[in-house]
Chain A
Amino acid sequence: MPSRSASVVCLLVFLLVSPVSIPSAWSADLENTLAIDLHDPAVLQEATRILTEEVKLAARAQTYVIVDLVDRAVVIKGRGAELHRFPIAQWSAAHLAEVSTMFRLQARPPVSRRKIEPAAGDQPPVSLDDMPTDFTLTFSPSLSVAVHPSASEDFWRWLRFTGRDWWAWLKGWARRLATGTEPSAQPVVRLTLTPHDAQSLAWTVTEGMPFLVRRASAETS
């Protein structure tokens, strides 16, 4: 009898203690989705902002994109679940403080579609290779996300893209010199992706797709 009582007591103690003592990775994940330092107020505030917006998007039947400048990734998501991730090799941005809301893509990068000629047999389909490796996505409200390859992967495209950025800067500087006024703050995010990932992103995005940008405290990476 005493040994049976002891066994029952041990079992009860085990049942009471085990939910507390056994580490629950899943419940930890539930409460820290972005795996951030919960004692860093700036990081916490930004993460909270992103989650507030994401919860609204995840509550609806749609896919959406998070440009995560902290974890350096472009993430395609639906209902809070990660569907695909593209690593960001490098990024830079201007007027990041203006990027505090949800944006909707105005138009996906253009792709030339092949027209089927009736009875002419199979037509070559559109594939990833048809998508551009450098492009600019424009959003409402005002935001531009410029995507381009690195210099090592496609030097001429990179040079063209960099030259375009410098030309825009020169025009802004000349305007300030001529008029004495600052141009309105247009937020811009520039992403360096591999050509394959850039083409994948161009393929994936659709008109009206919601985008969120998780900001980092620095302006470049």
Chain B
Amino acid sequence: MKRILAALCATSIGLVLLVLAGSLPATVASTVPIVEVDQAALRVLQSRYRALSKQLSQLMPGQPYIVVDTARNHLYIKRRDQVLLDALASTGSGTILDKPGEAKGQWIFDTPRGEFAVQTKLVNPVWVKPDWAFVEEGLAIPKSAADRIEPGVLGEYALGFGKGYFIHGTLYPRLLGKNVTHGCIRLNDDDLKSVYQLARVGTPIMIF
């Protein structure tokens, strides 16, 4: 009997919450106030709005620019609103790796977000393996720079955009569309060639 009563109470409270949830109260009336302006003031406002619209439009890149969607793993090249290229990509895995010998030091393998620019364009790039590439595999970090060089893994081209991050090729095209890299952006051979041909040093790269 007690259980039935408890269940009925809980159900009633739930129903009341459900009914009232459709009309959450505002604590204070806070609508944006209605503006009454005369015609001259309206014209000034219209003029200001048009000027700002034009100004904003002029801030958009006039040349083709690169957009990287790290959530859906796509790279686009766009000119204004037109999509010139839609490429499947791989971006950062978001995993972390402890730095040896540092109590709180970690590498975080994210593709950086924000706006960058193409800084370098390379043909037949060679991978100079950073420390994490050895630590990740349980190997000792080499003392000689020559021991870090690994050719043939980055594809035919690479476009650098700062702090060691590149758009480059991949030996594993089956992993495209997944977040599997250490921060760089990987493309298949054909798309990489298109990006290399369309982009210049200074081409904006917007990553979100």
Contact = CB atoms under 8 A, between A and B. Distances in A.
B49 A48 contact: yes
B83 to A, nearest CB: 12
Given A55-B55, A58-B59, A118-B135, A126 B93 contact: yes
Interface in A195-220: 199-200, 203-204, 206, 215-219
A159 B115 CA distance: 38
Interface stretch (A13-21, A89-97, A136-144): A89-97
A41 B204 CA distance: 37
A63 B179 contact: no
A85 B74 CA distance: 15
Residue in A45, A59, A169 whose Cβ sees the most chain B Cβ within 10 Å:
A45
Contacts of A159: 14, 17-18
B124 interface: no
Contacts of B37: 41
Contacts of B32: 42, 46, 96-97, 215-217
B34 A127 contact: no
A126 B25 contact: no
Given A81-B60, A113-B108, A123-B95, A63 B206 contact: yes
Contacts of B18: 159
Contact of B115 (A42, A45, A62, A162): A62
Contact of A42 (B24, B35, B93): B35
Contacts of A116: 95-97, 136
B: contact size bracket: 35 or more
Interface of B: 14, 17-18, 20-21, 24-28, 30-37, 41-42, 45-46, 48-50, 52-57, 59-61, 65, 67, 69-72, 78, 80-81, 93-98, 108, 113-117, 135-138, 178-180, 204, 206-208
Interface of A: 29-34, 36, 38-39, 41-42, 44-48, 51-52, 54-55, 58-59, 61-63, 76, 78-84, 92-98, 111, 113-116, 118-119, 123, 125-128, 159, 162-163, 165-166, 169, 172, 182-183, 185, 187, 199-200, 203-204, 206, 215-219
Lowest 6 A-B CB distances belong to which pairs?
A: A119-B138, A126-B94, A125-B93, A51-B52, A61-B115, A33-B53
